[in-house]
Copies of this chain bind each other. A is one copy, B any other.
């Protein structure tokens, strides 16, 4: 079997999302670095893999995919018997699906914006827009109040097991936990416990180790 291939960048949260999934599944993969600093992602070879010129892209034999959440869903279904089951069945999957959508449409836009302002802009020598941060922090608090209520009812967002609905949050969570914004997560006991739990998963710890090499 041709090995799985991830084309991406270790600092890209979307690439990290795919790594997290592959490690939970104990799957070997080849990692091909795409040099974002030279604009390699906007050149024809990478555009053939992802027409939007973004990372990651993914290959499983002759199947070529992009969009991190489509990749993790493919891996979870195609390698269902490997490692951690990241999807559940029937009605439970419908509930997991709700929380996967919540991550994509509520959590990601807000935390992605905050990560950009507070982590990446300073990294690139750009100036943080403080008004934008205050605005997004308010939205984050509303989202985390909903998460706190949900995590009082069930150990994980999708139900009693760790699934993709939790995993998809890891890269942005990790990013914001290195900033003062961590306080919003820590102020909510069930959110705090959930963050500590999922960020300590061995598969995620391995992903983080890639960043410090």
Interface of A with B (CB < 8 Å)? 51-52, 63, 65-67, 69-70, 73-74, 77-78, 91, 93-95, 97-98, 100-102, 104-106, 109, 142-143, 146, 149-150
A51-B146 in contact given A69-B101, A105-B104 (Cβ < 8 Å): yes
Distance (Å) between the CB of A50 and the closest chain B CB? 9
Q: Is the pair B52, A70 in contact by a Cβ cutoff of 8 Å?
A: no
Report yes or no: B51 in contact with A70, Cβ–Cβ below 8 A.
no
Complexed CA–CA distance, A63 and B98 (Å):
11
In the complex, which of the residues B51, B65, B74 contacts A150, with contact meaning CB atoms closer than 8 Å? B51
Residues of chain B with a CB closer than 8 A to A74's CB: 94, 97
Distance (Å) between the CB of A66 and the closest chain B CB? 6
Q: CA separation between A73 and B66, bound complex, in Å?
A: 20
Contact status B52-A146, CB under 8 Å: yes
The 19 listed contacts between A and B (C-beta, < 8 Å) are: A51-B146, A51-B150, A52-B106, A52-B143, A52-B146, A63-B91, A65-B98, A67-B97, A69-B101, A70-B94, A70-B97, A70-B98, A70-B100, A73-B94, A77-B93, A77-B94, A78-B94, A104-B105, A109-B109
Chain B residues near A142 (CB-CB < 8 A): 52
Question: Given A67-B102, A105-B104, A149 and B51 touching (CB < 8 A)?
Answer: yes
Q: Of B63, B78, B97, B146, which contacts A73 at CB under 8 A?
A: B97
What CA separation (Å) do A66 and B100 show in the bound complex? 11
Closest Cβ of chain B to A188, distance in Å, is 14
What would 6 more interface pairs be, CB under 8 Å, given A52-B142, A67-B98, A70-B101? A51-B149, A52-B146, A70-B94, A70-B98, A73-B97, A104-B105
Cα-based distance from A74 to B91 in the complex (angstroms): 8
The answer to whether A98 and B66 touch (CB under 8 A), given A93-B77, A104-B105, A105-B104, is yes
Residue in B51, B65, B94, B109 whose CB lies within 8 Å of A63: B94
Q: Which residues of B contact A69 (CB under 8 A)?
A: 101
